[in-house]
Amino acid sequence: MGSQGGFGQSKEFLDLIKSIGEARSKAEEDRIVLHEIETLKRRITEPDIPKRKMKEYIIRLVYVEMLGHDASFGYIHAVKMTHDDNIHLKRTGYLAVTLFLNEDHDLIILIVNTIQKDLKSDNYLVVCAALNVVCKLINEETIPAVLPQVVELLGHQKEAVRKKAVMALHRFYQRAPSSVNHLISNFRKRLCDNDPGVMGATLCPLYDLITIDVNAYKDLVASFASILKQVAERRLPKSYDYHQMPAPFIQIKLLKILALLGSGDKKASEQMYTIVGDIMRKCDSTSNIGNAVLYECICCISSIHPNPKLLESAADAIAKFLKSDSHNLKYLGIDALGRLIKLSPEIAEQHQLAVIDCLEDPDDTLKRKTFELLYKMTKSSNVEVIVDRMIDYMININDSHNKTEIASRCVELAEQFAPSNQWFIQTMNRVFEHAGDLVNPKVAHNLMRLIAEGFGEEDDTADSQLRSSAVESYLRIVVEPKLPSTFLQVICWVLGEYGTADGKYSASYITGKLCDVAEAYSTDDTVKAYAISALMKIYSFEIAAGRKVDVLPECQSFIEELLASHSTDLQQRAYELQAILGLDANVATNIMPMDASCEDIEIDRSLSFLNGYVQQSIEKGAQPYIPESERSGMTDVSSFRSQELHEVSSHALRFEAYELPKPVMPSRVSPIEQSSSNELVPAPEPSYHAEMHQVASSVPSVSDPGSLELKLKLDGVQRKWGRPTYSSAAPSTSNADIPKIQNGAPQLDAVSSSSSKAVSYDSRRQQVEISAEKQKLAASLFGGTSKSHKRQSSGSQKVPKTNIPAAEKSHVAKNATSDTAVLERTPQPPPDLLDLDESAVSSSAQSVDPFKQLEGLLDLNQDTSTLTTSDASASGAPDVMSLYGETTLNVQSGGVPNLLPAGRDEANLLSGLAGTPNRNGHGENTVTNPTQQLNKGPNAKESLEKDALVRQLGVTPTGQNPNLFRDLLG
C-alpha cells in the first residue's frame, strides 16, 4: 500500500485521484481508469484482504463507476461489506451499494435481510444508514418486507430516525400507493412532532396527498396557518435560519400547501389572509431567498380567493421585481404578473413600460416569458400588435420547439380575436410562410373554410373581395422558393376554387402557375394531388362557362406524367381530368359546380338507395338479411361448435391456438334509428374558447376616506375590486411612507432606512426620454399609457398619496392630533374584517383547538410535558409549534433534546428595541412604547425596528445578484 496519505488513505489512492485530475484528454483519463480496473480486479480477489484495504478498494470502485466505466466485478464485495459489524465499513458498503445497484438489480435480495436487521439496531447511525438504502433501493416487491419496521421507527426517540422514516414512507407511497394507503394517518401524526425537521419532512408527503384530494385535508387549514405564523415569528431554532430568513424552505412548502387548500374556497382563504400579508411585509427583498418567499406569496395570493389588500401588496412586490436590474428578478416579475392578470387585468397597465422593456430585452428567456404574459392579456384591441410581435420573434429563432409553440399561439389568438377576415388571412399566410410544416394541419383546413364561407353574411361583394385578395396574395407568394407543403396545399386549393372567379386572371395563367408549383415540388405527392385537382376545377369551370379550353404544353406533360405515376391516387385524378376535358357544359356543371365547397352533404346512413336491388335479390330467392342483434342460437356462425367442447373448455385449461380476429362488422341500426337518420350530418367545426377572466364580484370594494381626494380615471378599464393606487409612475416607497387608516385613526409608520435608497422606475425613465415608438407600442398593447402617467402629464392639481413631499409629511406628523379629532367626529365605516394589520385582528382566541381533533391520532403514551407552553396557556389559541420557543439544551423525560434556551422574554427584546432610536427619512427619532407594543402585538413599526436591529447585529447581503438562488446553491 505504501505510505499513508491524508484522511487515512494510501498514497497510491491519492496518486490515482491526482492523475485523474491532471489528465489532459478523455483518452488519457480512460487509460488511467482502465489500468486501475485491471489492478482492482487482481487485488480484490486476493485472499485474506484486510478490511481497511477492502474499504479503500470499494471507494476506488466508486470512482471508476463515477467516471463512466463498468465496475460490476466488485458489486458483490460492496454487498458483503454491508454485513460488517463495523459502523464505518457498513456505511461505506451501503453508500457503494446505493451508487452501484438499482431497485431491480438481482443483488437487492441479498441485502434485504441485512436491512431488516439494521432497522432494529440499537445504534441510531446504523438505522439511519439502513433507511437511506430503503429510500434508494427498496422496490414494490420488497416494500412489505421492511414496511412494519419503518412504521415502528416513526416513534423512535431520535429525531433524525423519525425524519428518515417519514421520508422512507413517502418514498413507499410514491412507488406503490396501494401498499401504504392504510398508513396515511401517520403523516398527520408527524405533523405534530416536537422536532421542526420531522414536521418539515412531513410537509412533502402531505403536499402530494393534498394535490390528489384537496377536500380530505380542508380541516388542516388552520393548523398549517398556525405553523406558518410561528415560523414567521422566528419560533424555530436559529439553526433553521438561512440568510437571516426563518426556515424559508418550510415557509415555501407551507405556502404551496395553502395555495392548494384555498383555491376556490373563500372560507379557507380567510384563515390565511393575515399570515400571508405578514410574511409579505417581513420578507427581505435584498436577498435571493427573500425574493423566493415573496414570489411564493404572490403565487399563493393568485390561487386563493382574492382579497383586495393582498392583491395590492402583490402588485407592489411585482413592481419591485420589474424595477430590478437583475434579469432573474424581472423574470419573476413577469411570471407573477401573468398569474395576477387573470384576477385583476388592470395591474398590467401599471407596468406597461417595464413590460415593453422586457419585450425588447436581449435575454431570450425573459423575452419568451414576456410573450407568455402578452398571450394572456390579448384582446381584440391589441391582438394585431401582439401577433405581429410574436411572428417577428418567431422568424428570428431557430429552435423548432419554441417556433411551434409561438406559431400555435399566433394561430389561436388570430382565430379568437381577429378584427377582420383580411387580417386573419394575411396573418395565417405569414405564419405558414415562416413556421412551415410546424403548423397544425387543422389550421390549413380552417383557413380554407374561412375563405370559402366568407363573412357569413349576405354581402356577396365583400366575400368576392376577400377571395380576390387571397388569390392575389397567393400568386405573389407562390413564386418564392421552399414554401412548406401545408401552405402549398392551401395555395393550390384557393387558386383552383377562385383563381378565375373574378375574371381578372385567365385560366391559362392560373393553370401555368399550378403546373410550375407541381414541377418545383415534384417529390411531394400531396402537393401534386392538390395541383391536379385545382386544374380539374379550372377546366370544369371553363367548360361550364362555354369557353374553349386550351391545355398548355406543360400542363399536358404534367397530366401524362401522372397517368404513368406509381401512385394510384394521382393516376385516378389524372384519368378523371382527361374524362372531364371531353364532357359538355351541362355535365361539367353537375360534376364540378362553382363555389360548392361549403354546401352541406346529405348522408343517408340507412343506404335506402339500395332497397330496390335488395328487393330484386329477395324475389329471385335470396335470403333476407338478419341483423346480428336479432340472431340467436345456432344461426350465429361463431356458435357452430360442439356443445361438449364448449363445456370442456369452460372447466379445463385450453391448449389450442387462439381464434383469428373476426372481421369488423358494420354496425346495425334499429328501425327507429333508420327512420330518423336521414338528417344532415355537418362536419364538426373546431371550437375555440376565449380565456375567461375570473371576476370576483363577491368581494366588496374597500373604501378609504383618503380616496375621496383622488378621482381615478379608469378610461374604459372595468373596475374589478380594490383601489389601484399602486402605479409605476409614482416614486418607489415602502409601505411605511403611506399614511394608513387603522380603526378609524390615521397612523404614520416609520420610514424604512432602505427605502431612501430605492430609485423609482419612472424617475429613471425621466432621464431618458421615452421614444415615440415605445409610446405608440404601449398605446397599442395597453390602450394608452398608465393612468398615473397621464395624471402627471395633464397638469392636474390632484397629487397622489405617494408623492407627498418631505415638508408636507412633517406637517402631517405635527397635525396628527387634530386630524384624529376630526376623524373622531365624522362617522367611520365599520372596520374591515380582512384587515391585515395585527391591530385589527380580534384578540379573542378560537373556541375550538384544531389540534384537539387530532388527539385521536396521537400516541396516548406520549409525554405531553413538552407540549405545554406559557403562551398557549395564556391565550388559549392552538399553538402547535410554540414548544419550539421553550426547548432547552437539557434532555427531558421524552428523550428529545431541546435546542432553544428557555425563558426567552419578548418584553426584554421590545425594551431593548425601544431604546434604539430609529431614524426615519426626515431625521426624526421615534421611541417605541414596549407596553403598548406588547399589548397590541407586532405591527409594521415593530417589524421595521426589528429588521433595523438585525441589520446592525447581523450581516445582510447587499448588491444585486444576477444569478437567482445563487445563495441557495452555495
Residue 149 falls within a domain, yes or no? no
Distances (CA, A) of 340 to 267, 298, 299, 336, 376: 21, 8, 8, 6, 11
Burial of 435 (0-12, 13-18, 19+ CB in 10 A): buried
**Could you tell me the residue range of the domain that residue 464 belongs to?**
440-594
Residue 91, C-alpha cell as written in the block? 456505511
pLDDT at 951: 56
pLDDT of residue 913: 37
Query: Which set of grid coordinates corresponds to residue 351?
Result: 407596468
Q: CB neighbours of 331 closer than 8 A, spacing ≥ 6?
A: 365, 366, 369, 964
pLDDT at 320 exceeding the cut of 80: yes
Would the pLDDT of 310 be above 90? yes
- pLDDT category of residue 713 using cuts at 50, 70 and 90: very low
d(CA 393, CA 216): 46
Distance CA 22, CA 658 (A): 64
Residue 668 cell numbers, joined: 346495425
pLDDT at 239 over 50: yes
Could you give the percent of the chain with pLDDT greater than 90?
A: 32
CA distances from 838 to 274, 647, 888, 919, 950 (A): 8, 80, 29, 23, 21
- Rounded to 5 degrees, φ, ψ at 897 are -70, 130
The pLDDT assigned to 457 comes to 63
Taking only the tens place, the pLDDT of each residue in 326-352 is 999 999 999 999 998 888 877 877 788
Per-residue pLDDT reduced to its tens digit, 943-955: 666 666 655 555 4
- Helical residues (DSSP H) of 67-158, grouped into ranges: 75-81, 87-100, 108-119, 124-137, 143-152
Which of 151-160, 576-585, 662-671, 863-872 is the least confident region? Answer: 863-872
- The pLDDT of residue 661 is 67
Q: Is residue 178 part of a domain?
A: no
pLDDT at 229 over 90: yes
Choose the weakest-confidence range: 276-290, 852-866, 916-930. 916-930
Tell me how many degrees the CA angle 722-225-319 measures, rounded to the nearest 5. 40
| 31, 357, 701, 728 from 352: Cα distances, Å | 60, 9, 25, 8
Domain total of the chain: 1
511 in a structural domain: yes
- pLDDT, average across residues 173-181: 90
Long-range contacts: 209-216, Cβ < 8 Å, 24+? 209/184, 210/257, 210/260, 210/261, 211/260, 214/260, 214/261, 214/263
Residue 748 corresponds to which amino acid? L
Closest Cα to residue 882, out of 928, 920, 851?
A: 851
The tens digit of pLDDT for each residue in 436-486 reads 778 888 888 888 888 888 766 666 788 888 888 889 889 988 888 888 888
- CA-CA distance, 475 to 498, in Å (whole number)? 12
Look at residue 665 in the predicted model and tell me its pLDDT.
54
pTM of model > 0.85? no
Concatenate the DSSP letters of all residues of 492-549 into one string. HHHHHHHTTSSSSS-HHHHHHHHHHHHHHTTT-HHHHHHHHHHHHHHHHHHHHTTPPP
User: pLDDT: is 622 or 950 the higher one?
Assistant: 622
Distance of CA 258 to the CA centre of its chain: 17
Q: Which of 39-43, 312-316, 926-930 has the lowest mean pLDDT?
A: 926-930
Is 491 contained in some domain? yes
Query: Residues, the chain, total?
Result: 970
725-754 average pLDDT score: 41
Distance in angstroms (rounded) separating the CA atoms of residues 703 and 724: 12
pLDDT at 897: 38
pLDDT at residue 839 greater than cutoff 60: no
pLDDT at 531 over 90: yes
Q: Which residue has the higher pLDDT, 832 or 487?
A: 487
pLDDT of 11 reads 85
Phi-psi region of 657 (alpha: psi -120 to 50; beta: other; left: phi over 0): beta
For residue 581, tell me if it sits in a domain.
Answer: yes
> What's the whole-number mean pLDDT along residues 217-236?
93
Q: Angle at CA 511, nearest 5°, toward 509 and 514?
A: 110
Q: List 897's β-bridge partners, or say none.
A: 891
pLDDT digits (tens, 9 = 90+) for 671-710: 434 434 334 334 444 443 444 344 333 444 433 443 333 4
CA 291 to chain centroid, in Å, comes to 19
pLDDT digits (tens, 9 = 90+) for 384-432: 999 999 999 998 888 888 888 899 899 889 888 888 888 888 898 889 8
- β-sheet bridge partners, residue 926: 918
- Pick the residue with more confidence: 181 or 848? 181
State residue 5's pLDDT score. Answer: 46
Q: Is residue 295 part of a domain?
A: no
Are 133 and 111 spatial neighbours (Cβ–Cβ below 8 Å)? yes
The reply to whether 513 falls in a domain is yes
Average pLDDT over residues 84-96: 92
Does residue 458 fall inside a structural domain? yes
User: Mean of the per-residue pLDDT values for the chain?
Assistant: 74
Give residue 271's pLDDT band: very low, low, confident or very high (50, 70, 90): very high
Does residue 193 or residue 628 have the better pLDDT?
193
Band of pLDDT at residue 118, cut at 50, 70 and 90: very high
pLDDT of res. 158: 93
Residues forming beta bridges with residue 245, ordered by sequence position: 242
pLDDT on residue 456: 62
